[in-house]
């Protein structure tokens, strides 16, 4: 079946659960938040949340750090190009993860 993950089409197995998708994508569960069809899904619900054809999934990565390298010059997220503040949540294309 076909789903969209962070705006990119992806073929996944029928009956795939959200927790299995996270594992398949080799993501650290404690460092991401997930929205399924514009609704946040709590981490404890991932194992019971089955994906359906056409679902739209947004995976947001927690980025720590972000301290200024030197006064007035913010660090940048690799491949993202935007300034990152401490504890920011950033949605990257999965190809960048």
**In this predicted structure, what is the pLDDT of residue 64?**
65
pLDDT tens for each residue of 2-24: 999 999 999 999 999 999 999 99
pTM for the predicted model, two decimal places: 0.67
**In this predicted structure, what is the pLDDT of residue 88?**
47
Burial letters 13-52, b for 16+ CB under 10 A, else e: eeebbbbbbbeeeebeeeebebebeeeebeeeebeebebe
Q: Domains in the chain and their CATH numbers?
A: 2-96 (3.10.20.30)
**pLDDT confidence band for 74 (50 / 70 / 90):** very low
**In this predicted structure, what is the pLDDT of residue 79?**
42
């Amino acid at each position: 079946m076909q789903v969209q993950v962070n705006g990119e089409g992806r073929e996944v197995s029928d009956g795939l659960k959200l927790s299995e998708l996270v594992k398949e994508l080799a993501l650290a569960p404690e460092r991401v938040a997930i929205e399924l069809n514009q609704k946040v899904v709590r981490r404890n619900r991932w194992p019971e949340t089955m994906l359906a054809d056409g679902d739209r999934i947004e995976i947001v990565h927690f980025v720590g750090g972000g301290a200024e390298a030197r006064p007035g010059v913010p660090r940048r997220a690799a491949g993202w190009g935007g300034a990152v503040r401490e504890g920011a949540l950033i949605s990257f294309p999965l190809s960048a993860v």
